[in-house]
Structures are given as structure tokens and as C-alpha cells.
Amino acid sequence: MTTRTLTVTPFDPVAASPAARLAVGHLLTESHAFAYPEEPPHLPAREAVSLTQLTPGDAMTHFVVWDEQGARALGWAKLEYSLTQNRHAAHARLIVHPAWRRRGLGRDLARALEEVARREGRRLITFGTTDRLPAGEAFARRLGAEPALVLRQSQLDLAAVPDSLLDAWVTRPAGEAYRLHVWERIPEEVLERAADVFMVMNTAPRGDLDVDDFQITPEMIRAWDDMIAEAGEVRPLMAAEDTRTGQLAGYTEVFWSPERAALVYQGATAVRPSERGQGLGKWLKAAMIRHVRAHCPGARVIRTNNAHENAAMLGINVALGFTPWAEFTEWQVRLDG
């Protein structure tokens, strides 16, 4: 068999058959296992579900390269872009099965994504690579991409965090105005305040990424809650509320799946600039570790990403015992002209 008979074809995961979605799910899980063999395996059925999930206000275009029988997915790519904000940019994902790399399939998929981006008036495409797969950086450079933000991926052994450190970080001044909440699904009456505190992540370093501040709406949050549940994940979110005003001063979130119980993914952690310097970030992180230990059976490690230039958050993580695990690079390709 040669790759000449293999072509990039549009793929609509919503209209596709369950068998077609599952075939792409197998491609995603097998490719992930190749890159991260030590991790708990992903489930093809869960990955198939994720293909249909879409944030309100966003659009997605998918492409697949099928084998000659049209049954096995050899490559897949997705372009996602907002219809309401950052309308100059789009974000891409592209995966070719390890056994079918270096045959031009990635190049063909990238070309298809670029055509969609140009058609939609996008002048910037962003995507990410990990040094766990060095070929990803080489491919990015062949596309003419520039590295825009480098993140340190770190990992924490949950059992190794000293209880004395957690005790110190969760101890708060008597009578202070802040209190912690923990939610898996954000209550309806909190959605507006949650959207507001989520946008504090706009203060996180973006390196050279040519993107504007993002906006979050209650509708987005509710859709994310639904998608997390549909994917079989649990997302504990802790927020620190200033009881004097009701404003949420900061938050942290993690993602955990019972089917991949050993590994917990740290999501965002943010504290309002006006509230920093009071130990709220340490409080949130330490309280979340205690929550994970108590409510995520089988959890052994937490993995997180931090921009190297984000010294404050990186310092908190290092103090907790997070150690370097990999490097993740956000790239951007400019399509001007």
C-alpha cells in the first residue's frame, strides 16, 4: 500500500456514524499511548465523545485520512476558532498514527487546516508540541511556525507532600473575610461571579502569542460543566470568596477520571492582582491537594503546566514538590499574505 491513494477528507463528528467516531477515538488513544506509554491509557469511546463537544460561540472543522478500506483512521486534524472573539486566530490539533508518520499525511492535513483558516479570515494558527515527541518541533519549524510560549510541565507525587506544609498553607488568620467553596458543578447563582474570576487568567503570561484577552460567559461555563460530565470526568473547583463583597478572589481546578485514576490534571489557578500577597494561592493549592487525596481514590500524581516566566505560580508549585516532567511549546503560524 502507498500513501498516494490516501486523501484528506472532511469529517463531521456529529453526523458521522458511531463506528467512524470510534475509529478516530482509537487513533487518538493509540497515538497518546505511543507518546506517554507510562500513563493510564485513554479510552477510545471517551475520545470519540470529545470529538462532538463544542463551546458556545465556537466553530470546528475536522479532517480525517482513512485507510484504503475507509475503516481505520490514520490521521486526524481539527481547527477550532471563536466566532465572537480573537477572530483573527484559530487553534489546531493534528495527529498522525505513529505507524504512518513521515509519509506526508501530516503535511496534507496541515494544508487542509490552512485552507480553512484562510477561508474563515484567520491570519494566525496556534498549536502545541511536547518535547516528549521531538518530531513535533521539527514539523512545526517545517511549517514556518515560531515558538511563542514555552511551558514547564511538572508532576507532583501526592503522597510525598508533607502534611506539615499543607497545615501551614491552609491555616488562615482568625476572623478573616475569605472562605473556601468547592464545587463539581458550579451553582447557578454563582455563574456570573465564576465567569468574572475565570477571566483573571488573562493576567497569566502569554509570551509572544498574538492573541487578545478572552471573555467568559455563564453559558460557556455551563456548557463546560456538561461536557466534563459527558466525558466521564470530575472537575473539583475551589474558589475563595470575599464575604464582604461576595466577589470570588481566586480559584483553582483539577480534572480527574475514575478510569484513569492515578493521574490528576491541574487546570487553572488564579488570584486577582488586587488580592495577591495574602497567601490565597497557597491556600487554594493546599486545600485542593487535601481534597484530591480524600475524594479521588487511586490518585497518585498531579500534572500541571506553567509558563517559565510565571515565577509566582511556578514558585508555589516548586515549594509543594512539583518536579520537571516535560516541556510544552505553544507555536503560532502567521498567514498574512
pLDDT, one tens digit per residue, over 233-278 is 999 999 999 999 999 999 999 999 999 999 999 999 999 999 999 9
Number of domains in the chain: 2
Q: What is the pLDDT of residue 5?
A: 78
Same structural domain, 113 and 169: no
Choose among 64, 71, 56, 88: nearest CA to 19.
Answer: 71
Segments in the chain below pLDDT 70 = 1-4, 337
CB 122 within 8 A of CB 89: yes
CB 26 within 8 A of CB 44: yes
Q: Which letter, b or e, does each residue of 99-113 get, where b requires 16 or more Cβ atoms within 10 Å of its Cβ? A: ebbebebbebbbebb
The pTM of this model reads 0.94
Same structural domain, 118 and 167: no
Same structural domain, 158 and 265: yes
Which residues in 163-316 belong to E strands, given as ranges? 178-183, 237-242, 248-256, 263-271, 301-307
Same structural domain, 161 and 105: no
Same structural domain, 65 and 214: no
Separation between Cα atoms, residue 19 and residue 11, nearest integer Å: 13
Q: What is the pLDDT of residue 337?
A: 58
In a domain, 334, yes or no: no
Q: Which of 107, 122, 137 is the last residue of a domain?
A: 122
Separation between Cα atoms, residue 177 and residue 151, nearest integer Å: 34
Same structural domain, 157 and 59: no
In a domain, 127, yes or no: no
Same structural domain, 178 and 112: no
Q: What is the pLDDT of residue 336?
A: 81
Same structural domain, 280 and 205: yes
Q: What domain range is 166 assigned to?
A: 153-327
Mean pLDDT, the chain, as a whole number?
A: 96
Same structural domain, 100 and 183: no
Return the CATH number at 223. 3.40.630.30
DSSP 68-114: TTS-SEEEEEEEEEESSS-TTEEEEEEEE-GGG-SSSHHHHHHHHHH
